[in-house]
Amino acid sequence: MVTCERCHRDFVSYAAFSQHFETKHHNAAKPPDLAKRLSEENELKTYRTSVQCVHGPSKIKFAAFLMIVTVAVGVIGYVALTPREASESLIRAGSVAPDFSLPSTSGASFRLSDYRGKSNVLLFFNEGLSCQPCLTQMQSLDALNSEFKSLNVVVVSITGDPLQTLTDWTRSSGPAYGMVLSDQGLQVSRSYGMLGADVSMMPGTAPGHSFILVNENGVIVWRHDYGPYNMNVANDEIWAAIKQALVG
């Protein structure tokens, strides 16, 4: 605070006091130390401005850096802790097939273990109603029904479609073997490793185009994942692989 000795007014800075003195008391002599005080005040102002220019952006950059690190840590933590579908199929030939029970379009439930000691079971996982090649594949397997019967093979198609819409399709144009199951919750597809990006065109949301052959002892003797690139496999190729696995 600076006080004018002539009119006793107070000013917040020497610059303001100097302007007042020149306007109101221009005929009077300026205080002897006014020039010195003005110089010191200007130097202090210049210093503060330079410090703000240097440190202001640095603080902003540091705050931005902290924010980036925080976000990065959050993303890494999310990726590390969020469950993901296996990138590799865990159920291979030689493994005991996990038992399961699913509703069938025939109106009854299908349980894999009911066929233990009775029949071989061919499981055909596919994307179902959203995939025309998959529907065509399910239908085309009917052409092998006599061959399947000769080796005591029961054919079962499994999709993630709701049971009712799947039933409507099978009643109008479904395969004659009639074993079409709804795995709407994808629990069975997940347990058989059908949802990985190396198997499915829609990872995590629909099974890929895969065949699993389970023998009468409940052991997987053949598996082949044709998805995500081949959604329509020739019957001859499927039958040759089944015969090789069961007969040799």
What is the DSSP secondary-structure string of 197-237? TTT-SSTTTS--SEEEEE-TTSBEEEEEE-TTT-----HHH
Q: What is the reported pTM?
A: 0.64
What are φ and ψ of residue 214, in 5° steps? -110, 125
Using one digit for the tens of pLDDT, what is the confidence trace for 201-223?
Answer: 888 999 999 999 999 999 999 99
H/E stretch holding 3: strand 2-3
What's the rounded Cα separation, in Å, for the pair 58 and 55? Answer: 5
Token output for 169: 């399709």
Using one digit for the tens of pLDDT, what is the confidence trace for 64-113?
Answer: 777 777 766 554 443 334 333 333 446 889 999 999 999 999 999 999 99
